[in-house]
Structure 1
């Protein structure tokens, strides 16, 4: 073989290798970012709206009890525990990012439309219709229970597809297109905006649904509104996502499965997987999860989902059962969402400030604890985060979970010490920032989990979260009466305290300390002067 042919083969090999790499450096233009935000906004709008309205549907179908709401939560969360790891693996291994995202969107919208039809059948029984209407079904408890199970089944599909959409967007698309730290549309900026979109949707979407139901005095109209909203948003969301994908070379590069050294990365048709292998895959996912450096703060975050004093099914059903109207509940929930939205502005500033303060104190050369523990691979440092961002995340996360403990304590005291009406007033106004640490801790997993494990980790993390969700729902079933809710509040506070202890211990282990006592001593001496 002559040298020319050898040279041509070498060039072809190098060209083939180059095709495996992103053709350009990551980053977004303003137009691309807007399209990305629009797609995410419509997904979150529908997810947050259906999450809220399903609670109202269940409360209307089964009034005067917490059992139905808790059972619905248990069924959905149990399915999430079993299947979330597979969803994460599917997102991780799917080569086409656009097809993956569009699949989650289409499946989600379809499940909402079909589920809404069955909710409409349940709420059309004559004992649940408040006034004469054209379409009324006779009362049949057995049929209602069967249709309820079917509606919950489509709720499972809705939740799984919503989870897949979130994993695909936050752990794949956003991380892929994020610019290096300090540049426009870097990972911290994108996460802040995405979280802000989530919280704005969490605020406005339920408000509009509540307005529709209150204005028409019909939960059935709320079902129709939910279905129409899902249908209308489908083309807008898909067009926006496709626009980002078409204009981003790094997103269009097909993902290849990690291959052993020396083998070609050629996708092969996936054989049918027996259920025993799927269970084994689930256990392997948990093995991977607990082998990462960030599993402790992840579990600490998951523990917060045991908290039953947040705006979810158990607490909202409790408020409805003790006589609070939907507009009052919606207004109180909106106040909490405003505080959460403000956290998306404060958190990036806090991360930068606390990271910068640490670096000024250590000059990045003293202890060097975070930079030398090997949590971030050198090849990923420029794309994920530098040491300053990591330290800022750790320190601000500690402030966030500590604030949640302080925020929840007076609520528990109020529920145990004051009258029913006053405890409600105190409860709805006191835990406004109960979920503020969530997205900052999610940024930690984006930073500290290797690129080839992020989506799988997110799937297992969702399963862990739902373990605590299902424990919370089971506890609610054990204490179903409204006068027993004070015990649920106490259990919630204990869970938050354990979460605080876990995260505090992890930060101390990573950094070797929690406070700079020498700085406190310097401040004390300065103040005495």
Structure 2
């Protein structure tokens, strides 16, 4: 599913750029037509899934007085806030389950990396255009980035099968941090509006996408394996809500630092978010495995222990 999504993201900008080079008006109508056609396909697909999965037709039982047809209890004189308290309790229940789950820290780390402008979205594309690149060059950069993301969806299963999802998640996230940290470091010696800095940013962001999707797949595997079946939908929905919150914060950073010459500040905030995410996931790894690195394999600990223990003879 990730590959299908990323492949569409690879083809779409190239196709629209070619149409736009011919006529912007035609490109606008093309986008409108494709969106209208995709809505019809999406509704048909949703209907097919609904008919093929009988469990979707089941209705959840009413669990509170506030949502039952006979909700006269919520109108008891002297207790006008009972309905509000009940509503707040129901609203906060998914968040309580989310925070108390054993994979919360891993999921939080994944959500935190959505606080970023280091992707080929509207914000970074605008910055690249301001730096002197044209739309065709930006489209080519996006192609390279999506190609790296596609590579991540093939690399991740191979590494996960070899070293497990926990260690692979740690490796992928650290790779992403190194890439975005290198891209952010380019702003220190040079002017933020130079094409050289923008080029370093593009390379760092493109390479970081391998780590991003590898880490995403690793965490999603952990969620599927460790969250109870009846709670997976609620957990994933809460995780998505948290991701949207961090994404809005990334938009807020560009509202505060709105001028192109200030783009380095959202970049620093984004790289800082990845750093905090790496710390959070390292905490989860140590909690689950008891260590971050194999001392025997990384520092020769097995040889040290062998020499320290006397021979039985």
Q: Give the 3 Å change call, closer, same or farther, for CA 327–271 of structure 1 in structure 2.
A: farther
Q: State which of 168, 192, 195 in structure 2 corresponds to 1:421.
A: 195
Give the SS at the match of 1:415: coil
Paired position in structure 1 for 2:79? none
CA distance in 2, matches of 1:299, 1:520: 28
Report the alpha carbon displacement of residue 523 of structure 1 after superposing the two structures with TM. 9.2
CA distance in 2, matches of 1:512, 1:234: 48
Q: Does 1:233 align with 2:38?
A: yes
Render the CA deviation track for 1:48-71: whole Å, top value 9, x for unaligned. xxxxxxxxxxxxxxxxxxxxxxxx
How many positions carry a matched residue from both structures?
283
Gap runs ≥5 in structure 1: 1-193, 261-268, 355-391
CA distance in 2, matches of 1:393, 1:512: 15
Aligned-pair RMSD on alpha carbons?
2.9
Paired position in structure 2 for 1:310? 119
Q: State which of 1, 4, 19 in structure 2 corresponds to 1:212.
A: 19
Paired position in structure 1 for 2:306? none
Aligned 8 A contact 1:335 1:429 in 2: no
Give the SS at the match of 2:118: coil
Render the CA deviation track for 1:186-229: whole Å, top value 9, x for unaligned. xxxxxxxx11111111211222222222321x2x4433222211
Q: Give the 3 Å change call, closer, same or farther, for CA 453–331 of structure 1 in structure 2.
A: same
Gap runs ≥5 in structure 2: 75-82, 304-313
Give the SS at the match of 1:316: helix
Report the alpha carbon displacement of residue 253 of structure 1 after superposing the two structures with TM. 3.9
Q: State which of 202, 205, 208 in structure 2 corresponds to 1:431.
A: 205
Paired position in structure 2 for 1:400? 172
CA distance in 2, matches of 1:307, 1:407: 13
Q: State which of 305, 322, 325 in structure 1 corresponds to 2:134.
A: 325
CA distance in 1, matches of 2:122, 2:238: 23
TM-score (structure 1 length as normaliser): 0.49
Paired position in structure 2 for 1:199? 6
Please list, as runs of the form range in 1=range in 2, the aligned pairs for 1:494-509 lying within 5 A after superposition. 494-509=272-287
Give the SS at the match of 1:417: coil
Q: Does 1:455 align with 2:233?
A: yes
Q: Does 1:222 align with 2:37?
A: no
TM-score (structure 2 length as normaliser): 0.80
CA distance in 1, matches of 2:70, 2:89: 15
Aligned 8 A contact 2:127 2:260 in 1: yes
Render the CA deviation track for 1:295-336: whole Å, top value 9, x for unaligned. 111111111011211122321222223332111111101101
